[in-house]
Every structure is written in structure tokens, then in C-alpha cells.
Amino acid sequence: MKEQTKLVTTGRHPERYSGLVNTPVFRGSTILHQSMAEWEDKKKRRAADEHGASTYGRFGTPTHHALEEAVAELEGGFRSQVYPSGLAACATALTSLLSAGDHVLLTDSAYSPTRGFLTRVLGRFGVEVTIYDPTVGAGIEANIRPNTRVIYVESPGSETFEIQDIPAIAAAAHRHGAKVVMDNTWGTPLFFKPFQHGVDVSIQAATKYIVGHSDAMLGIVTCTEETWPLIKRTTQDLGQTAGPDDIYLALRGVRTMNVRLRQHWKAGVEVATWLENRPEVEKVLHPALPSHPGHELWKRDFLGACGLFAMVLKPASPAAVEAFIDSLQLFGIGVSWGGYESLIIPFNPSGDRVAAKWPYTGQALRLHIGLEDPADLIADLEHGFETLKHADPQLLAV
Ligand SMILES: *Cc1c(COP(=O)(O)O)cnc(C)c1O
């Protein structure tokens, strides 16, 4: 079946729900059983890890199981588990696989709250973290120690957009008995197939493109058959679950993901290409542009691009950059991404980076290209650049 068709059919069981097209929102804590025999049977099926055999709301309702079924199929993994946020998914995946005395290799391009969790929380429990250059590729092997259990990858980084050579990193990890955990939020389950490239655990901040409308928070971890029991056990030990209303919104988002993402991809490339030719712009960091240092790897491993990328402005005064951002009408100022609306946010990676030096001096800005007409977004940015130049007369010369 083609992916577009899978998005429509996956995780749906109308025959179980009076013929309703969508799995309803099931709210519940207690799950009643008709007899002791049914209770014992359910417990047995749950112990045997039968998907959907739940004895309590925390272990999921049919709403939870529908989304888990859908994402496992789309990511191409064995099983998925939902979490109340993307960061909860990252934190639980890492807690599942790491113990005191273990060593983890973390890409310098990782989502910074994930870095914070590893260093601040797991660090307190005796997990050692080494930050590596995201572009290291097969060279990662030199960083692997006898106690390295996890290599954490995020490709591309969601601020700095380095593409990682995941198959090379996975091959090195597996030679040394380490697992590869990937934050696959940018690639989405449609544009990067983690398990075909050697990933052992894949994470989606479903808050982004799966929910797709900036109206719910959710995370999902998808596993191989080998990593699933550990993730599941730890998830239950930590009491992790998510609300069925948010999950319903994510399931609704799944159905339109292909059409939305193809539009984000096309419009994102159009705006990025236009920006690349602007004299005020030092560099555009978009993996689908041939000028991107990771473009060849992106072409080899990815099936598309989402609407998130960055640009670095030529050096301009902070007041001029502020005037530029403030002048934009169609770009909201805010974090997160993956909704239908365009966003812009300044960032400064130079302070955090330890393994891969950030080479730019101008202001870096992350853009999310939403579902507006790209011509309107370009006109908005063009007007913004006029404001920028007038606020910084030196730039008028460029
Ligand atoms: C947003 C984000 C997360 C965290 O997701 P939340 O739902 O906000 O907790 C994790 N990784 C990446 C790459 C993200 O962009």
C-alpha cells in the first residue's frame, strides 16, 4: 500500500465503534470486566503484551492504541508508546536504556531540553554524557567507550540543521553493542524511515507535524522488537500516559499529514531559495537546498523535507534585527513548529556548542513555513528587509 493510503487506513477499526469512521475519544481510568474469568484472561493477555489488552486507563484506551498502531506502522517499527509531550518521550526513551555507570554520546545539535535532561537529570544518577560533532559520521567510532550504551542522534538538528550519516553511526554503534536513539521530529514518519537506517528507538514530538495545528502536546516513541520491552517497562514504571483528547487530535492530524507536509516542503524550499538570493542574508540552512553541506546525505536518506529551516543574517544591529522581526505580519514570534502557521524565532547556538563550533557571527533566525501562500510570505519578508535596511543604514549599502 502507498503511504498516502496507509495514512487513511492505519489505526482505524470502524467495525468496533458502531461504524464510526474515527476511533472515538475514550476517557477512563477503571476498566470493568464481566467476570473473574475475563479479568484473569485480560491480565494474561496484558502479560503476553497483546496490543490493546489494557487493564487500566494508564495502560491506554482504544484511543491511545489507535495512534500507537498508526505511528508504529508509519515509522516502520515494532510498537509505539504515547507520552504527554515530545520531551517526555525523549526523557523516557533515554531513562529506559541507560543505567548508572553507562556512557551516552549526544549530538551537539540535539534539542537543548533533551541535553538538559541528560546532563541535569541522568547525570545525577551517574550517566556520563559526551557531546559529539553531528557531522562526524563513521568517525563516531573513536568516541565509543566500552560502557557506551546509547548514541543519540537528531537529524537534522532542529536549530542548526546538520544532517547526520545515520547508517554509518548505526553501524559503528551496533559493532560495539550500543543502541541508536533518534529524534525524528523533523523527518516526520513520512520523510525519514528510521528503522531502515539502523535506528533502534525513534522519537516523534507529535506536538509538531502529527498534531499539526498547534493545539495539543504529545510525544511518541517507536521501537524495534528488541528495544520495546525495556521502553514499555520503564514507561509503566514512570507512570507515563497521555490524555485521550490530545491523542484524538493527533489521530486527526495523521490523516492529512501527507498533503500538509508536501505543501510545507514545497513552500519551504520556495521561501528558502528566495532568501538565499537576498543580499541581507549570509546563509540559508535548509537540507533540501544544494548549497547545504548535508544536501547529499539528505538526498540519499530522506524522502522529503518539512517546513523548518534557518537563516543567518549579515551582521546588523540588534535593534535592526528586532525591527525586522517586529515588522513581519505573517510570521508569529514563538517556539514550536509543525502547525499550519508560519513562525520566526531568533536563536544563538554559539553559547551551547562544545563539539561543533558555530561559524556565523550574524543573527541566526529559525523559520517555520506554514500553509499560507508562499508568495504572501515572500512579500512579508521583502517588506521586513526594507525595514531592516532602514533601521541599520550600513545595510543600505548592500
Ligand atoms: C519540540 C521538540 C521536542 C519536544 O517536544 P514537546 O512536545 O515540545 O515536548 C523534541 N524534539 C524536537 C526536535 C522538538 O522540536
Q: What is the pLDDT of residues 289-346, one digit of tens each?
A: 999 999 999 999 999 999 999 999 999 999 999 999 999 999 999 999 999 999 999 9
Residue nearest to atom 4 of ligand 1 (CA): 86
Residue 209 lies in a domain: yes
How far apart (Å, rounded) are the C-alpha atoms in residues 71 and 74?
5
Q: What local confidence, expressed as pLDDT, does residue 221 receive?
A: 98
Q: What local confidence, expressed as pLDDT, does residue 397 receive?
A: 63
Which residues approach ligand 1 with their CB closer than 6 A? 85-87, 90, 111, 158, 183, 185, 205, 207-208, 217, 219, 336
271 and 389 within one domain = yes
235 and 86 within one domain = yes
Which of 111, 120, 114, 63 has its CA nearest to residue 93? 114
Band of the pLDDT at 396, cuts 50, 70, 90? low
Residues labelled catalytic: 58, 111, 183, 208
Measured in Å, residue 238 CA sits from the centre of ligand 1 at 20
13-50 pLDDT, tens digit each: 999 999 999 999 999 999 999 999 999 999 999 999 99
Task: For residues 256-271, give the mean pLDDT.
Answer: 98
94 and 143 within one domain = yes
The CA–CA distances, whole Å, from 21 to 8, 143, 215, 378 equal: 10, 50, 22, 39
Which of 120, 144, 112 has its CA nearest to residue 130? 144
Q: Going by DSSP bridges, is the β-strand pair 201-205/179-183 parallel, antiparallel, or unpaired?
A: parallel
Residue nearest to atom 8 of ligand 1 (CA): 86
Domain that holds residue 305: 257-395
Task: For residues 155-175, give the mean pLDDT.
Answer: 97
Domain count, the chain: 2
Residue 162 lies in a domain: yes
Task: For residues 250-271, give the mean pLDDT.
Answer: 98
The preferred substitution site among 94, 158, 345 for testing ligand 1, maximizing ligand atoms within 8 Å of CB, is 158
Measured in Å, residue 393 CA sits from the centre of ligand 1 at 38
169-193 pLDDT, tens digit each: 999 999 999 999 999 999 999 999 9
Atom number in ligand 1 closest to CA 186: 13
Q: How many CA atoms lie within 13 A of 392 on its CB side?
A: 20
Residue matched to cell numbers 492529512: 256
> CA-based angle 162:168:174, to the nearest 5?
125
Last residue of a domain, one of 196, 221, 255: 255
Q: What local confidence, expressed as pLDDT, does residue 350 receive?
A: 75
Per DSSP (E only), the strands in 255-372 are 281-285, 308-313, 332-333, 343-347, 364-368
The whole-model pTM stands at: 0.97
- Cα R_g (the chain), whole angstroms: 22
287 and 153 within one domain = no
Residue pair 80/72 in contact (Cβ under 8 Å)? The answer is yes
Residue 48 corresponds to which cell in the numbers above?
A: 503476553
The preferred substitution site among 185, 188, 246, 247 for testing ligand 1, maximizing ligand atoms within 8 Å of CB, is 185
Residue pair 89/209 in contact (Cβ under 8 Å)? The answer is no
